[in-house]
Chain A
Amino acid sequence: MQRETSAGAAILFDDVGKTYPQKGAGSVMALEGISLEVPAGAITGIIGRSGAGKSTLMRMVNGLEKPTSGRITVGGRDVGAAHGAALREIRREVGMIFQHFNLLSSRTVLENVALPMEIAGVPRGQIRTRASDLVARVGLEKLANRYPAELSGGQKQRVGIARALATEPKVLLSDEATSALDPETTQTVLKLLADINRDLGLTVLLITHEMAVVRDIASHMAVIDGGRIVEAGETYDIFTTPQHPTTRSFLSGVTGVTLPRFIAEQMVTERPEGPAREVIRITFLGDKATDPLLAQMSAALGLDVNILAGAIEEIGPRPFGNLLISVPADRGAEARSYLETHQQRTEVLGYVR
Chain B
Amino acid sequence: MSANLIHMLIDATWQTLYMVAVAAIIGAVIGLPIGVFLACSQRGELLSAPLVNRVLGIVVNATRSVPFIILVVAIIPFTRMVAGTSIGTTAAIVPLTIAAIPFIARLIENAIREVDAGLIEAARAMGATPLQIIRKVLIPEALPGITLGMTLAVVSLIGYSAMVGAVGGEGLGDLGIRYGYQRFMPDVMAMVVIILIVLVQLVQTIGEWIARRVDKRAPRNRGA
Task: Spell out B's residues near A (CB within 8 Å).
Answer: 116, 118-119, 121-129, 132, 136-137, 140-141, 143, 214, 216-220, 222
- List the 8 shortest-distance A-B pairs measured between CB atoms, nearest first: A91-B127, A88-B127, A102-B122, A102-B118, A147-B216, A96-B125, A116-B126, A92-B127
Given A118-B136, A119-B136, A91-B217 contact (CB < 8 Å): no
A64 within 8 Å of B (CB atoms): yes
Partner pick for B121 among A64, A115, A148, CB 8 A cutoff = A64
Q: Which A-chain residue is minimally distant from B129 (CB atoms)?
A: A88
> Which residues of the partner chain A approach B124 to less than 8 Å between Cβ atoms?
64, 91
Interface size on A, residues (CB 8 A): 28
Given contacts A104-B119, A106-B216, 5 further A-B contacts (CB under 8 A): A102-B121, A104-B140, A104-B141, A119-B128, A167-B126
The A86-127 residues at the B interface (CB cut-off 8 A) are 87-92, 94, 96, 98, 100, 102, 104-107, 115-116, 118-120
What is the distance, in angstroms, from B128's C-beta to the closest C-beta of chain A?
5
What is the distance, in angstroms, from B20's C-beta to the closest C-beta of chain A?
28
> Which residues of the partner chain B approach A98 to less than 8 Å between Cβ atoms?
118, 121-122
Give the docked Cα–Cα distance between A104 and B136 (Å).
10
Partner pick for B125 among A91, A106, A120, A150, CB 8 A cutoff = A91
Give the docked Cα–Cα distance between A64 and B219 (Å).
32
Task: Spell out A's residues near B (CB within 8 Å).
Answer: 62, 64, 87-92, 94, 96, 98, 100, 102, 104-107, 115-116, 118-120, 147-150, 167, 173
> Which residues of the partner chain B approach A91 to less than 8 Å between Cβ atoms?
124-127
What is the distance, in angstroms, from A187's C-beta to the closest C-beta of chain B?
25
> Which residues of the partner chain A approach B137 to less than 8 Å between Cβ atoms?
104
> Which residues of the partner chain B approach A105 to less than 8 Å between Cβ atoms?
141, 216-217
The prevalent SS among residues of B at the interface is helix
Give the docked Cα–Cα distance between A119 and B128 (Å).
6
Counting chain B CB atoms within 10 Å of each CB, which of A94, A118, A119 scores highest? A119
Q: Is the CB of A92 within 8 A of B141?
A: no
Give the docked Cα–Cα distance between A98 and B136 (Å).
19
Give the docked Cα–Cα distance between A116 and B126 (Å).
6
Give the docked Cα–Cα distance between A94 and B124 (Å).
11
What is the distance, in angstroms, from B4's C-beta to the closest C-beta of chain A?
50
> Which residues of the partner chain A approach B127 to less than 8 Å between Cβ atoms?
87-92, 116, 119-120, 167
Q: List 16 A-B contacts (CB under 8 A).
A: A89-B127, A91-B125, A91-B126, A92-B126, A94-B125, A98-B118, A98-B122, A100-B118, A102-B116, A102-B119, A104-B137, A104-B140, A115-B126, A115-B136, A118-B136, A119-B132
Q: Is the CB of B140 within 8 A of A107?
A: yes
> Which residues of the partner chain B approach A120 to less than 8 Å between Cβ atoms?
126-127
Q: Is the CB of A149 within 8 A of B119?
A: no
Q: Is the CB of A96 within 8 A of B216?
A: no
Partner pick for A106 among B123, B214, B218, B220, CB 8 A cutoff = B214
Partner pick for A62 among B116, B125, B219, B222, CB 8 A cutoff = B125
> Which residues of the partner chain B approach A87 to less than 8 Å between Cβ atoms?
127
> Which residues of the partner chain A approach B143 to less than 8 Å between Cβ atoms?
106
Give the docked Cα–Cα distance between A119 and B123 (Å).
9
Give the docked Cα–Cα distance between A120 and B129 (Å).
10
